[in-house]
Amino acid sequence: MQDAYDKAAVLAKYGANPAIQAIQAAQPDALLDAKFDRGELTLKIAREHIRAAATLVQKAGYNFLEDVTCVDYYPLEPRFQVIYHILSHRLKARVRLAVPVESIDPEVDSITPVWPSADFYEREVFDLFGIRFGGHPNLRRIMMPDEWEGHPLRKDYPVEGYR
């Protein structure tokens, strides 16, 4: 179980995984951490390298972006983790990229140049978590009204009652 969360152990065991290989070969400093838990591979990617990592993973055969979302670990720092789930139709496997983001100036590069489908997902994360995506073609609120103040899915935003 502990091995599942240990980067060196995961890399040793699943080093043949195309996503790990591609990132290790082209951009080893992008890979901060790796874990393999409950049959799911998670690669923690440095914030500045996410677009490069997404491109590498796409070239490695993970052709379909399923989902972009975020988790708020308030009050820990880095506070946010932007999560990308990417599926490979050929390998019948998926990989999860997790990008830690600090609470001061939360900004990540948009991966819309790699997968246009990230458009709505990144808008949703921007709307509900307040993370900006650099290079996004149309970054605006998608769920909440345009003039809404605050980002509802943050942990310091109450579930009920008045704001």
Q: Name residue, tokens 């921007």.
A: 126
Q: Which is nearer to other proteins, 25 or 120 (CB)?
A: 120
Measuring CA to CA, which residue among 90, 86, 91 is closest to residue 114?
Answer: 86
Assign 3-state DSSP to the chain and report helix, strand, coil percentages, each to 5: 30, 30, 40
Q: Which is nearer to other proteins, 46 or 87 (CB)?
A: 87
Euclidean distance between the first and the last CA atom of the chain, given in angstroms as a whole number:
41
Q: Which residues bind other proteins (CB under 8 A)?
A: 37-38, 40, 42, 63-67, 69, 71-72, 74-75, 83, 85, 87, 89, 92, 94, 96, 103-104, 106, 115-117, 119-121, 127-128, 130, 132, 139-153, 156-160, 162-163
Q: Which is nearer to other proteins, 49 or 85 (CB)?
A: 85
**Least Å distance between CB 12 and other proteins?**
21
Amino acid symbol at 27: Q
Amino acid symbol at 95: V
Q: Which is nearer to other proteins, 25 or 144 (CB)?
A: 144
**Least Å distance between CB 49 and other proteins?**
21
Contact 95, 36 (CB under 8 A): no
